[in-house]
């Protein structure tokens, strides 16, 4: 006998039209996903922590011995590309707000990655509004009028991009939907609501339910996603193998398990993406306590041609193409500016060079952050692909990447400078002030910044503090120095703040920064703390001290109910 999972409770405000997404049927669907998979998610998050501790204690990061046969077996391939995912030469990304959704759908890109992760501050309103916008877009109903300008927006493209949704990663909970007081995994909420409402409509439209999977740290996490997909398809009577997922390789541990990740998801795989920003963050975090050669120089010195980044992207392309999977490139931070033509020219030149390098390396397409960059990326890939939709046939047998190449300790040229420290602090605080105001992507100094920027910056500062790194100017990175620079930046931001609300956001940004960059221990992510503290609906919001239980990524571990998987 299968137990029937309890119905989830909604703890967030029911804003207009939220009842269209949070239907009893959709919530019952989420309860089944949760009942079958939340327990394993909690175990896998615990396994992440254990692995981190072992590496900090000196264990070597390496390819897995247990899965050698998967890597050596030349016979398996992933499923052939699904409708709408054959030609991915240019993919635009962005949070699913009404205006940006419409602009992305009219951008001329082949794919639109609708983002609930790095570029979305996951407030309750943003999360459910995002689901509403996607639902409307998929049914051709999405329209928007900008109240300030009066400009009306609607989708006019003859062939809009294929929609690929990026749910939040395994680490986050959705505090506004609970079962027995336990918040549901945010990944299951984002995936489940989108799949429940849109899977059949997407198939009817000639595509399918497609996903980007962020921040995986092991092939066992890919196996969990695969089990979620299998259950979800069974529950809705959607043929197995309809879902497709591109996994972001954006953690160092995952780079050692690319083959295994593709293998676990092989019937649902649509390739791998080189998530370069979080990859840098993960590299720093993986070796945060190790110091010495593992300390990276200023963020600006870490480019796609530094040895560790080169090794990782080369391995990604060769792995994907050996298995018939798309290799998708990453995000250059440069964005055009309406106000400054020279900034736009520089952005176009930088993005052109980045995309040309990726196309020459064998990537099948890449990401851009702004509609003004779609033509540049498309042209860079056109030049290499010609009439072909991709270059899956390009085998990179010349690539031989070792564990030492991926780690490349001490091989990143550059220095740790006062300027680098100041920039990390300043960009973090400016971005965080936007994030606590529910805005997850911002242009700062003509660069696109999102949550991954803060993750890199604050982890780097934590590592520099922990190891008392000496700046090239001679000063040692100490709490006093960082506090002084933070104060300077906070004062400058207060001087620019125009109302009580923006002053509050500056203080909140400082709190999140201090908590995530300057504590004794390194928090795994800044987002769980910042979310609990500042983003959840006010009646739920914690104002007093936050307990370990509030912040646990896994929350209380629910009982495992594997037998309910296909119920
Ligand atoms: C590390 C990673 O995870 S990368 C992937 C996640 N990050 C992202 O996806 C970030 C995506 N990009 C963005 O959010 C935006 O480009 C920003 C915030 C950086 C800049 O946005 P803006 O300040 O609005 O830029 P700008 O004023 O130049 O925009 C011009 C127009 O392009 C639109 N636009 C800009 N970026 C996008 C986008 N990514 N998708 C759709 N439309 C966009 C704007 O809405 C604006 O529209 P309008 O002319 O109708 O008013
Ligand atoms: O999500 C993408 C990244 O680079 O991080
Ligand atoms: Mg990322």
pLDDT in tens, 278-312: 999 999 999 999 989 999 999 999 999 999 999 99
* Residue 270 CB neighbours (<10 A): 29
Q: How far apart are CA 34 and CA 30, in angstroms?
A: 6
Q: What are phi and psi of 106, to 5 degrees?
A: -95, 5
In the predicted structure, residue 164 carries a pLDDT above the cut 50: yes
Q: Which residue has the tokens 């990726």?
A: 358
Answer whether 276 contacts ligand 2 (Cβ < 6 A): yes
Q: Which residue has the tokens 């392309």?
A: 317
The predicted pLDDT at position 1 comes to 41
| 221-244 residue pLDDT tens | 999 999 999 999 999 999 999 999
Fold equal for 17-406 and 415-551: no
Q: Is 255 helix (H, G, I), strand (E, B) or coil?
A: helix
- Smallest CA separation from ligand 2 atom 3, residue: 275
The predicted pLDDT at position 91 comes to 98
Six-digit token pair at 548?
A: 């370990």
Cα–Cα nearest to 428, from 415, 407, 442: 442
Ligand 2 binding pocket mutation candidate from 93, 118, 166 (most atoms within 8 A of CB): 118
Work out the average pLDDT over 111-127: 98
**Mean pLDDT in the chain?**
95
The predicted pLDDT at position 541 comes to 63
**CA 65 to ligand 2 center in whole angstroms:** 28
Query: Which of left, alpha, beta for 466 (phi over 0: left; psi -120 to 50: alpha)?
Result: alpha
Strands (E), 346-479: 366-368, 442-444, 447-449
| 3-42 residue pLDDT tens | 678 899 999 999 999 999 999 999 999 999 999 999 999 9
The predicted pLDDT at position 540 comes to 64
Q: How far apart are CA 230 and CA 267, in angstroms?
A: 10
The predicted pLDDT at position 552 comes to 56
Active site residue 48: no
The predicted pLDDT at position 5 comes to 81
In the predicted structure, residue 553 carries a pLDDT above the cut 60: no
Q: How far apart are CA 348 and CA 339, in angstroms?
A: 15
Q: Which helix (H) or strand (E) holds 353?
A: helix 341-361
Ligand 2 binding pocket mutation candidate from 113, 250, 284, 313 (most atoms within 8 A of CB): 250
pLDDT band at residue 539 using 50, 70 and 90 as cut-offs: low
Work out the average pLDDT over 382-395: 97
In the predicted structure, residue 183 carries a pLDDT above the cut 90: yes
Model pTM score = 0.96
Q: Which helix (H) or strand (E) holds 61?
A: none
The CATH number of the structural domain formed by 415-551 is: 1.20.1220.12
The ligand whose atoms approach the alpha carbon of 279 most closely is 2
Does residue 326 contact residue 392 with C-beta atoms inside 8 Å?
A: yes
In the predicted structure, residue 549 carries a pLDDT above the cut 80: no
Answer whether 277 contacts ligand 2 (Cβ < 6 A): yes
**CA 85 to ligand 1 center in whole angstroms:** 23
CB burial class (10 A; 0-12, 13-18, 19+) of residue 155? Answer: middle
**CA 271 to ligand 3 center in whole angstroms:** 16
Answer whether 278 contacts ligand 2 (Cβ < 6 A): yes
Ligand 2 binding pocket mutation candidate from 283, 331, 526 (most atoms within 8 A of CB): 331
Q: What are phi and psi of 206, to 5 degrees?
A: 100, 5
DSSP assignment of 136-190 equals HHHTT--EEE-TTT--EEE---SSPPEEEEE---TT-EEEEEEETTEEEEHHHHH
Q: Which helix (H) or strand (E) holds 328?
A: strand 327-328
| 478-520 residue pLDDT tens | 999 999 999 999 999 999 999 999 999 999 999 999 999 999 9
Count how many residues are written for the chain.
567
Looking at 3.40.50.140, 3.20.20.360, 3.20.20.100, 3.30.70.890, the CATH number of the domain 17-406 comes to: 3.20.20.360
Measured between its terminal Cα atoms, the distance across the chain in Å is 10
Work out the average pLDDT over 367-383: 98
Sequence spans of domains, the chain: 17-406, 415-551
pLDDT band at residue 63 using 50, 70 and 90 as cut-offs: very high
Six-digit token pair at 536?
A: 């959840």
Select which of 88, 166, 396, 510 is catalytic. Answer: 166
Q: Which helix (H) or strand (E) holds 461?
A: helix 451-466
The predicted pLDDT at position 4 comes to 74
Active site residue 521: no
Q: Which residue has the tokens 């605080």?
A: 429
Q: How far apart are CA 285 and CA 170, in angstroms?
A: 17
In the predicted structure, residue 424 carries a pLDDT above the cut 70: yes
**By percentage, how much of the chain surpasses pLDDT 70?**
94
pLDDT band at residue 115 using 50, 70 and 90 as cut-offs: very high
The predicted pLDDT at position 543 comes to 54
The predicted pLDDT at position 59 comes to 96
């Amino acid at each position: 006998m299968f137990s029937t999972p309890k119905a989830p409770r909604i703890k967030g405000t029911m804003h207009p039209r939220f009842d269209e997404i949070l239907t009893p049927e959709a919530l019952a669907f989420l309860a089944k996903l949760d009942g079958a998979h939340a327990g394993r998610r909690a175990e896998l998050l615990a396994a992440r922590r254990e692995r981190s501790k072992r590496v900090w204690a000196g264990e070597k990061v390496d390819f897995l011995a247990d899965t050698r046969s998967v890597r050596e077996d030349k016979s398996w391939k992933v499923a052939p590309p699904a409708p709408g995912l054959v030609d991915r030469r240019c993919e635009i990304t962005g949070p699913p707000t009404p205006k940006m959704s419409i602009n992305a759908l009219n951008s001329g890109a082949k794919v639109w990655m609708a983002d609930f992760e790095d570029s979305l501050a996951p407030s309750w309103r943003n999360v459910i509004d995002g689901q509403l916008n996607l639902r409307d877009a998929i049914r051709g109903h999405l329209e928007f009028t900008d109240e300030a300008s009066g400009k009306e927006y609607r989708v006019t493209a003859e062939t809009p991009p294929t929609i690929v949704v990026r749910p939040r990663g395994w680490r986050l909970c959705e505090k506004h939907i609970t079962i027995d007081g336990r918040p549901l995994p945010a990944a299951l909420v984002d995936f489940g609501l989108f799949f429940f409402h849109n899977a059949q409509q997407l198939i009817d439209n000639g595509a399918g339910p497609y996903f980007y999977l962020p921040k995986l740290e092991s092939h066992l996490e890919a196996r969990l996603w695969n089990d979620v997909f299998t259950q979800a398809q069974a529950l809705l009577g959607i043929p197995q193998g309809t879902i497709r997922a591109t996994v972001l390789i954006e953690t160092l541990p995952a780079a050692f398990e690319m083959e295994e990740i593709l293998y676990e998801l092989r019937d649902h795989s649509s390739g791998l993406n080189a998530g370069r920003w979080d990859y840098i963050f993960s590299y720093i975090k993986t070796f945060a306590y190790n110091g010495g050669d593992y300390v990276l120089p200023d963020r600006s010195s870490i480019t796609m041609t530094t040895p560790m980044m080169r090794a990782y992207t080369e391995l990604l392309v060769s792995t994907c193409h050996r298995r018939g999977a798309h290799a998708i490139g990453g995000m250059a931070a440069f964005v055009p500016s309406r106000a400054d033509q020279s900034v736009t020219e520089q952005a176009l030149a930088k993005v052109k060079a980045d995309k040309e390098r990726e196309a020459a390396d064998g990537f099948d397409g890449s990401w851009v952050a702004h509609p003004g960059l779609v033509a540049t990326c498309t042209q860079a890939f056109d030049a290499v692909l010609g009439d072909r939709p991709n270059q899956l046939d390009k085998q990179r047998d010349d690539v031989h990447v070792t564990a030492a190449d991926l780690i490349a300790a001490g091989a990143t040229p550059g220095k740790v400078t006062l300027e680098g420290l100041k920039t990390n602090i300043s960009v973090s605080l400016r971005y965080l002030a936007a994030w606590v105001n529910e805005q997850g992507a911002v242009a700062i100094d003509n660069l696109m910044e999102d949550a991954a920027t803060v993750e890199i910056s604050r982890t780097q500062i934590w590592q520099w503090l922990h190891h008392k790194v000496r700046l090239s100017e001679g000063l040692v990175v100490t709490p006093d120095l960082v506090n002084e620079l933070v104060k300077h930046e906070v004062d400058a931001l207060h001087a620019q703040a125009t109302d009580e609300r923006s002053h509050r956001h500056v203080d909140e940004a400082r709190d999140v920064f201090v908590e995530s960059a300057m504590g004794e221990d390194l928090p795994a992510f800044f987002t769980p703390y910042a979310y609990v503290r500042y983003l959840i609906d006010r009646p739920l919001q914690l104002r007093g001290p936050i307990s370990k239980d509030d912040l646990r990524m896994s929350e209380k571990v629910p009982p495992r109910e594997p037998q309910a998987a296909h119920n």
